[in-house]
Structure 1
Amino acid sequence: MNSPIRVTVWGENFHEHSDRDRAGMAERYPQGMHGAIAAGLSELLGDQVEVRTATLDQPEHGLTDEVLASTDVLTWWGHARHAAVDDAVVEKVHRRVLGGMGLLALHSAHFSKIFIKLMGTTCSLQWRNSADTELVWNVSPAHPISQGVPSPIVIDEQEMYGEYFDIPAPDEQVFLSTFSGGEVFRSGCTWRRGKGKVFYFSPGDQEYPVYHHPDIKRVLANAVQWARPDQAADFVAPQVVNEPAPYLAGGKAIRA
């Protein structure tokens, strides 16, 4: 029997406490956005996962060496405080991803330090926050992340993200969104980085209760299962090796 997937749900936890957003956030996400995401994973995956949360305001942003060493999949939601994330923590997360940890970058995490570092591009896009209707189309129905998910997922109100989205060509395009304003957006994309799997999923602005949407919860649960490390993962990032003498010389083996 496979051991549970150890998931750390990271949240910026800023809008939950800001003067402007506190009241609305308390109504939409009384346990915080990170709490809602964690609850959705536990609801759908049960004993298949061990879920904990971490937030920006904690020491080392809640991502200590001990926490990262016991994390198989990290979900990341950030928006207003990207610059406040310590570069040393970003470096630790980056090394862990290269060594095999899965990463789910959610909504405005496209501008997070860790996502930009992994992508190597600006990750810029177009946006408009006017409660557009978003249709999330399943363009890869055989992909593990899209299983049990309708096409389209209908989100009645959501911030619009539109092309051009400055990301490397995805290894796999799983979802494509269209909006009531006519825009399109590559809203669900995967990449391999080192030994780790990365999934970006755009729905989830803080002004709308998107993470309570049953189909969005299913996408995230599927993505956690997909992003879990391979069984052979050792969480050691690929590195330079000083190679000894060749195995063969003159057609004969000289090193076992």
Structure 2
Amino acid sequence: MTSVTVWNEYRHERDSDVVAEIYPDGIHTVIADALESAGFDTRTATLDEPDHGLTEDVLESTDVLTWWGHAAHEEVREEIVDRVHERVLEGMGLLVLHSGHYSKIFKRLMGTSCSLKWREAAETERLWVVEPSHPIADGIEEYIEIDDAEMYGERFDIPAPDTLVFNSWFEGGEVFRSGCCYRRGNGRVFYFRPGHETYPVYHNEDIQQVLVNGVRWAAPGEGPEPTFGNYEPREEIDLSDDRTVH
């Protein structure tokens, strides 16, 4: 069974009555419940727990980590970012959600500022499926319409995705690359844009289906372990050449 750790900053839900009304037990519990209902072994972790809930043991036993943060990116300790980064390179999947684009871990994996345009106007978003054969789009119609959304607009300062699954159009006229797939080391990374805290986006069944699909796609496979470093030849060759500085 795929093991998922749902990480959430968990600040807005405790500081804002508006957010608490939508997510009384936190954004992480709504996401975790949806993933658990899909058959994943799911647990949660939050910023204010020891090691932000991401101990070495937790990460070692995590197949896919989901990440939601907004107001406290700078409070995430560098050693925890190092720990998550290492696990992604080893093969752990990572789903970065909404304002997690500014998280330390996503910026490190992308190597860019990950900046964008934004606007809060509770406007309509139409999330178009641009790669319908991709497994993350399984069970989704041609588009998902979100009645109230925060606008994110291009330019989104990220590397070109390996695969772009979703592209958003907003009522105000902007567009945005909203479903971006990457490989980093042995790990798979999926950035998914919807999820502003003052709108009930994660209660949307289509959005939950995308998260379920994203976890399935990002989960590590059963392929061979790669080998690195100095390597003995598989065939018999002359090893007498000594022109080396190593």
So what's the TM-score if we normalise by structure 2? 0.93
**C-alpha separation in 1, matches of 2:233 and 2:125:** 58
What corresponds to 2:53 in structure 1? 62
SS at match of 2:179: strand
Matches within 5 A, 1:111-150: 111-150=102-141
What corresponds to 1:254 in structure 2? none
What corresponds to 1:182 in structure 2? 173
Alpha-carbon deviation of 1:247? 5.0
Alpha-carbon deviation of 1:250? 5.2
Measured on the aligned residues, the alpha-carbon RMSD in Å equals 1.9
Paired letter, 1:105:
V
What corresponds to 1:85 in structure 2? 76
What corresponds to 2:12 in structure 1? 15
SS at match of 1:168: coil
SS at match of 1:16: helix
Corresponding residue to 1:41 among 16, 35, 39: 35
Matches within 5 A, 1:96-111: 96-111=87-102
Which whole-Å deviations, capped at 9, do the CAs of 1:35-68 have from their partners, x for residues lacking one? 111111122x13xx10000000000000001100
Alpha-carbon deviation of 1:248? 4.6
**C-alpha separation in 2, matches of 1:145 and 1:53:** 22
What corresponds to 1:225 in structure 2? 216
Q: Is the 8 A contact 2:162 2:183 kept in 1?
A: yes
Which whole-Å deviations, capped at 9, do the CAs of 1:127-170 have from their partners, x for residues lacking one? 00111100000001100000101221010001000000000010
SS at match of 2:155: coil
The gaps in structure 2 that reach 5 residues or longer are 240-246
**C-alpha separation in 1, matches of 2:222 and 2:95:** 19
Q: Is the 8 A contact 2:14 2:20 kept in 1?
A: no
Which whole-Å deviations, capped at 9, do the CAs of 1:225-248 have from their partners, x for residues lacking one? 1110011376xxx78613457955
Paired letter, 2:74:
A
**C-alpha separation in 1, matches of 2:158 and 2:130:** 18
**C-alpha separation in 2, matches of 1:213 and 1:103:** 21
Q: Is the 8 A contact 2:8 2:28 kept in 1?
A: yes
Corresponding residue to 2:22 among 6, 28, 46: 28
Alpha-carbon deviation of 1:24? 1.3
Alpha-carbon deviation of 1:249? 3.2
SS at match of 1:140: coil
SS at match of 1:31: coil
Paired letter, 2:10:
N
Paired letter, 2:100:
A
**C-alpha separation in 1, matches of 2:151 and 2:93:** 26
Alpha-carbon deviation of 1:201? 0.2
What corresponds to 1:6 in structure 2? 3
**C-alpha separation in 2, matches of 1:12 and 1:153:** 26
**C-alpha separation in 2, matches of 1:233 and 1:107:** 33
- Sequence identity percentage: 56
